[in-house]
């Protein structure tokens, strides 16, 4: 349990005593009572809104409640001050021993300090990337990949049982286009001149695939019509593309638990079963859709389709699941896929989409709501555009022209760790500028460097201490006399550490891994700040020559910071550095 939750229990216990003593009426709900870090550290270490929340239902003045509450709380040895402030906040100050205890706890628990039980072993499925298997991953996919992976890591850290999943769109018409594109490269490998028309993919990445096909089948398909090769090439080409994509993901350090094939849904009855499930709930009907308002396509003509009554579950219009020729729309296998996820017993589903799929969110939520009878929530996270820069010149992405910037381009230049961290320095739904030069800069402005440097700096301290013949093994630090950590600047760092478990819970509840990155940046700043204070105040330096006991206490604090940075980076899939290059 994190320190804030512990203190909340203390506050609730005090409120219970007040109720028994008749100072509060019976039967009040304390649900809205919170204990939080104050916005301004000058106010205290923690603040509770108890008095303000309870003022109205208890018909007492907030300040009166706060005064009485303060009296009870002061009976606890951990609390050294409880002051009423503002409209009725109760500001608490905690004894140094509490913060010293946090340092010890961090060292005891290591990477597990901050692990949470908010997930309570519930099963969550995180679907991300899910790029069409028609080419290598580009920068946009990279952000979704990093975000999804960090989110999965975060939820795992917060106590969920996580499945990482990739939905492979290998069943639709775009696979035909891919197959034809490979065929052209195949002809090219046989020395023919080809032209990429009808939207076929001109990207270079298909050249080796065409060559591989030639190596495999020789000239068997040359001069033959589609009916002879299309089916085989669909298989051959998607397999080649998925091999490419898996390699791209591996380069970023992303391991999926499962690749779920859209094609595998066909012919198994699963799509039919999913639609029948909806039909049984009265949500499937034959009907006509109105044309979109404001934007009237020239070729609009009313036609009867099989529709899903998604409006019953929060969508704006009903959605077609079957084309007029009797085949499924893309939506139908998606419904079936989510039907399968629901049936696999997940307690929570998360889909990570690019922002251009925003229009798809409501219908997907409607489908899951209908299929699960409202029992399984679906949270859809959209990742916004990445704008690339280098030397002030924006990069252009054009998949059609085959000149898009790929994941590989990015990772080759800056490495997986920098790629991942930078992609998480913005909220998922905010656009992100990615500058190839700036992300490698070694300065305070670059959060990646700043956080990595903090970790490396602690490692450097440990090395320096060893040179000074000070024992700094984990066991020794754990046994250090932490009461020597009594300077306000040192306790401030310990306070920051105390926020870590709480922050993990907040980030996990909101499915926002970027909060981890921001926290690490702040924690790194606190460590650098303490280091810099040592410049003017030698007594604050971590290594105190001729006083190994004091050194060990201070180094224990530094080590604790490194432990949390390491754990946080671990969630984000970034390796901490022991030395800066």
Binding segment (CB under 7 A) for RNA, from list 240-248, 278-286, 415-423, 532-540: 532-540
Is 300 near RNA (CB under 7 A)?
A: yes
| Choices 13-21, 112-120, 416-424, 513-521 (CB under 7 A): range interacting with RNA | 513-521
Q: Does 39 bind RNA (CB under 7 A)?
A: yes
Q: Give the C-alpha separation, 469 to 546, whole Å.
A: 9
CA distances to 126, 127, 276, 282, 541 from 370, rounded to whole Å, are 20, 19, 12, 10, 61
Would strands 46-48 and 35-36 be described as parallel, antiparallel, or unpaired?
antiparallel
Site map (CB under 7 A) of RNA, residues 391-420, x = contact: ------------------------------
Given 91, 163, 369, 406, the residue binding RNA (CB under 7 A): 91
Contacts with 167 (C-beta within 8 Å, 6 or more apart), sequence order: 127, 130, 260, 262, 337
Q: Which two tokens stand for residue 156?
A: 């795992």
In angstroms, the CA 165 to CA 570 distance is 20
Q: Which is nearer to RNA, 193 or 325 (CB)?
A: 325
Residue 429 touching RNA (CB under 7 A): yes
The correct pick among 81, 217, 289, 397 for binding RNA (CB under 7 A) is 289
Contacts to RNA from residues 533-572, by CB under 7 A: 533-536, 538, 540-542
Distance CA 473, CA 475 (A): 5
Q: Rule CB under 7 A: is residue 302 a binding residue for RNA? A: yes
Is residue 242 part of the contact set for RNA (CB under 7 A)? Answer: no
Of 196, 360, 389, 395, the residue at the interface with RNA (CB under 7 A) is 360
Phi, psi (rounded to 5 degrees) for 406:
-95, 165
Q: Which stretch binds RNA (CB under 7 A): 117-125, 156-164, 273-281, 428-436?
A: 428-436
- How far is residue 147 from each of residues 111, 201, 571, measured CA to CA in Å? 21, 28, 11
Query: Between β-strands 79-85 and 46-48, what pairing exists: parallel, antiparallel or unpaired?
Result: unpaired
Q: How far is the CB of 361 from RNA (least distance, A)?
A: 6
- The verdict on 518 binding RNA (CB under 7 A) reads yes
Site of tokens 């007029």: 324
Q: What would the two tokens of residue 310 be?
A: 């998604």
Q: Which is nearer to RNA, 4 or 221 (CB)?
A: 4
454 binding RNA? (CB under 7 A): no
Please report where in the chains the tokens 């290059």 appear, as a residue. Answer: 581
User: What is the arrangement of strands in the sheet containing 305-308, beginning at the earlier edge strand?
Assistant: 284-287, 305-308, 319-322
Cross-strand pairs, 353? 382
DSSP class per residue in 365-382: HHHHHHHTTT-S-EEEEE
Judged by CB under 7 A, the stretch of 179-187, 206-214, 250-258, 522-530 that binds RNA is 522-530
Looking only at the bridges linking them, the beta strands covering 123-127 and 348-354 are parallel
Q: Which of residues 365-384 bind RNA (CB under 7 A)?
A: 382, 384
Q: Which stretch binds RNA (CB under 7 A): 8-16, 86-94, 252-260, 402-410?
A: 86-94
One symbol per residue from 138 to 177: x for binding RNA (CB under 7 A), - otherwise; what is it?
Answer: -------------------------------x-xxxx---
| Number of residues assigned to the chain | 581
Q: Does 112 bind RNA (CB under 7 A)?
A: no
Q: How many residues bind RNA (CB under 7 A)?
A: 98
Task: Give the one residue of 246, 357, 390, 487 binding RNA; rule: CB under 7 A.
Answer: 357
Q: Is 468 in the site for RNA (CB under 7 A)?
A: no
Selection from 100, 162, 163, 185 nearest residue 481 by Cα: 100
Residue 161 neighbours by CB under 8 Å, 6+ apart: 119, 121, 122, 123, 124
Which range binds RNA by CB under 7 A, 121-129, 185-193, 237-245, 299-307?
Answer: 299-307
**132 near RNA, rule: CB under 7 A:** yes
- Report the residue from 192, 243, 324, 403 that binds RNA according to the rule CB under 7 A: 324
Q: 410 vs 517, which CB is nearer to RNA?
A: 517
Q: Does 57 bind RNA (CB under 7 A)?
A: no
Q: Does 442 bind RNA (CB under 7 A)?
A: yes
The CA distance from 240 to 186, in Å, is 14
- When binding is defined by CB under 7 A, the residue of 29, 391, 398, 443 that contacts RNA is 443
Q: Of the ranges 9-17, 200-208, 394-402, 423-431, which one interacts with RNA (CB under 7 A)?
A: 423-431
8 A C-beta contact, residue 391 and residue 437: yes
């Amino acid at each position: 349990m994190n320190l804030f939750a512990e203190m909340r229990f203390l506050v609730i216990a005090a409120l219970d005593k007040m109720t028994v003593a008749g100072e509060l009426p019976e039967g009040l709900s304390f649900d809205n009572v919170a204990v939080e870090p104050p916005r301004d550290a000058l106010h205290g270490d923690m603040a509770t809104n108890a008095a303000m929340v309870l003022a109205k239902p208890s018909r007492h003045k907030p300040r009166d409640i706060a005064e009485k509450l303060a009296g009870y709380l002061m009976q606890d040895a951990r609390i050294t001050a409880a002051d009423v402030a503002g409209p009725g906040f109760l500001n608490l100050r905690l004894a140094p021993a509490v913060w010293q205890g946090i340092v010890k706890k961090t060292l005891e628990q290591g990477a597990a300090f901050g692990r949470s039980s908010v997930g309570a072993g519930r099963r969550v499925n995180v679907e991300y990337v899910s790029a069409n298997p028609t080419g290598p991953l580009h920068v946009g996919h990279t952000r979704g990949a990093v975000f999804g992976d960090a989110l999965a890591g975060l939820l795992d850290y917060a106590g969920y049982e996580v499945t990482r999943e990739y939905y492979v769109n290998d069943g639709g018409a775009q696979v035909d286009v891919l197959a034809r594109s490979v065929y052209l490269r195949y002809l090219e490998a046989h020395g023919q001149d080809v032209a990429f028309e009808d939207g076929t993919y001109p990207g270079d990445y298909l050249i080796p695939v065409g060559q591989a096909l030639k190596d495999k089948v020789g000239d068997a398909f040359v001069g033959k019509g589609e009916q002879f090769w299309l089916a085989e090439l669909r298989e051959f080409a998607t397999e080649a593309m998925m091999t490419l994509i898996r390699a791209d993901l591996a380069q970023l350090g992303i391991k999926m638990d499962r690749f779920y094939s859209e094609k595998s849904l066909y012919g198994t009855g699963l799509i039919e079963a999913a639609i029948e499930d909806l039909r049984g709930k009265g949500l499937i009907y034959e009907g006509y859709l109105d044309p979109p308002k404001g934007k009237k396509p020239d070729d609009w003509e009313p036609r009867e389709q099989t529709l899903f009554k998604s409006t019953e579950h929060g969508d704006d219009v009903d959605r077609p699941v079957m084309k007029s020729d009797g085949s499924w729309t893309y939506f139908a296998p998606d419904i079936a896929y989510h039907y399968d996820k629901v049936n696999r017993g997940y307690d929570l589903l998360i889909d990570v989409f690019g922002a251009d799929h925003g229009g798809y969110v409501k219908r997907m939520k409607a489908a899951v709501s209908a299929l699960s009878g409202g029992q399984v929530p679906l949270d859809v996270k959209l990742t916004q555009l990445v704008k690339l820069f280098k030397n002030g010149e924006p990069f252009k992405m054009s998949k059609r022209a085959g000149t898009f910037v790929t994941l590989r381009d990015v990772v080759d230049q800056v490495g997986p760790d920098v790629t991942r961290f930078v992609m998480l320095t913005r909220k998922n739904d905010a656009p992100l500028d990615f500058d190839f030069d700036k992300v490698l800069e070694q300065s305070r402005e670059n959060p990646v460097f700043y956080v990595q440097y903090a970790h490396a700096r602690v490692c450097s301290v440990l090395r320096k201490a060893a040179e000074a013949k000070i024992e700094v093994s984990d066991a020794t630090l754990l046994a250090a006399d932490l009461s020597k950590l009594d300077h306000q600047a040192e306790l401030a760092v310990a306070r920051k550490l105390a926020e870590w478990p709480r922050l993990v819970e907040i980030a996990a509840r909101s499915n926002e891994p970027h909060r981890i990155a921001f926290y690490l940046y702040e924690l790194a700043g606190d460590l650098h700040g303490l280091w810099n204070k040592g410049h003017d105040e030698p007594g604050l330096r971590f290594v105190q020559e001729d006083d190994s006991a004091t050194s060990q206490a201070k180094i224990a604090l530094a080590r604790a910071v490194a432990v949390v940075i390491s754990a946080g980076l671990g969630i984000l899939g970034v390796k901490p550095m022991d030395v800066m290059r």
